[in-house]
Amino acid sequence: MDYIHNQLLKLDMDSTLAGYLSIIIMFLLIVLICIIANFITKKVVIRIISKIVKNTKFRWDDMLLERKVFHKLSHIVPAIIIYFFASAFPEPLKYLIQKVAIAYLIIMGLVIISSALNAMNDIYQTYEVSRTKPIKGYIQVVKIVIITLGIILVIANLIGKSPLLLLSGIGALSAVFMLVFKDSLLGLVAGIQLSTNDMVQVGDWIEMPKYGADGDIIDISLNTVKVQNFDKTITMIPSYALISDSFINWRGMQNSGGRRIKRSLFIDKNSISFCTEEMIDNFKNIHYLSDYVTHRESEITEYNTRNKINQSNRVNGRALTNIGVFRAYISNYLSHHPGINQEMTLMVRQLAPTENGLPLEIYAFTNDIQWAVYETVQADIFDHLLAVAPEFGIHLFQNPTGNDFKKITDI
């Protein structure tokens, strides 16, 4: 009896070993088939698809190729093979393999959908409308929803429960989701308002001192707006900050074709005086003033004569002043300057006097919005005006310097 019992145990052990060996062989066979299938898919099928895509005249399929959508599709093939060959294994192992294979298929599906959505955004950005109506934020929202549903499906598959059962519990976790996705929800609302009201576009120059941003928008996403500053640094601004805080968008200036000059010359008030006959004669020889001075002199003489003004005192009646003639000269000079846009506002005005003198402000627009050109035109104008001011008896205000104190010491 002991002999028979030992033989039966030996047969059981042999059958168990044979079963394990068959499982290992089957596993190795499936791995080999998966490797071969993956090799054929990537080295043959994907190459054929790539050649076909590159030879087509369409642009959208190139975007799919650049985002490796077709390459990621190849990862599905091994998972499908494993799922169908799982039936060759014993029941507990078969169940586990199929669950893992399905979970892998779902995850790869999420990866493929994400890449396809990125390709869709790339295709959309090839159109001009993408500058005014970006969809990157909306695509990110779709990604969040799809990934959330995908995670629920994976969990439901692994625990063997219905996805609807898990979805029913999301309502109880809504407050948690609101907290976790607070920035995304705020970004979504901000993105809709920014797009609807056309507040910002990719390529706009914006200025937002609170966040240290002063440059061009290079990307608008769900949560952030990326700004490349003029010093080539990058500033990330929360999307909702653009609707809750104030900022300057210089797009209007860029579209107008002119860039504003708004700068003042500070006139020393002690140098302001009536024009003498000698000054008037000198002004008549200035190209931009000859007609103005002749006309104004005739007008003033007629007014004083008609009103019988006693001209023995220059306070009486009307008379030319050096600051008035200088202001007229600047206006005529700007009217003939090739760098000034003559179709936009152009004026020279006096501002309220300050402790630094009388501000004589130039308000004009250049006919080129490029920064370097704008600065060159502006510098050219003020170089000239600073040099000609003494010709009008005008002294420009400047705080005393070391040289001024040295002159006083020498005296």
Report pLDDT digits (tens) over 301-324: 888 888 887 777 777 778 889 999
Kindly tell me the sign of the dihedral angle through the C-alpha atoms of 360, 320, 290, 395: negative
- Closest to 196 measured CA to CA, from 140, 133, 138, 130: 133
Beta strands in 258-300 (DSSP E): 259-267
Q: Please state, rounded to an integer, the average pLDDT across all residues of the chain.
A: 82
Residues 95-99 have a mean pLDDT of 80
Highest mean pLDDT among 102-106, 256-260, 363-367: 363-367
Residues 2-17 have a mean pLDDT of 49
Distance CA 30, CA 101 (A): 13
Kindly report the length of the chain. Answer: 411
Distance CA 94, CA 103 (A): 14
Calculate the alpha carbon distances from 402 to 220, 410, 411 in Å: 52, 12, 14
Which CATH number, 3.90.230.10, 2.30.30.60, 1.10.510.10, 3.40.190.10, labels domain 158-251?
2.30.30.60
Distance CA 310, CA 237 (A): 68
**pLDDT of amino acid 54:** 74
- Domain parsing of the chain, residue ranges: 2-126, 158-251, 256-410
Kindly indicate the confidence band of residue 8, based on its pLDDT and cuts at 50, 70 and 90. Answer: very low
Distance CA 30, CA 24 (A): 10
Task: Please give the full DSSP string across 345-395, using - where no structure is assigned.
Answer: --EEEE---BTTBEEEEEEEEES---HHHHHHHHHHHHHHHHHHGGGGT--
Does residue 268 register a pLDDT over 60?
yes
- C-alpha dihedral, 82 to 84 to 87 to 89, nearest 10°: -20
Report pLDDT digits (tens) over 154-206: 888 888 777 777 666 666 566 666 666 677 777 777 877 777 777 888 888 99
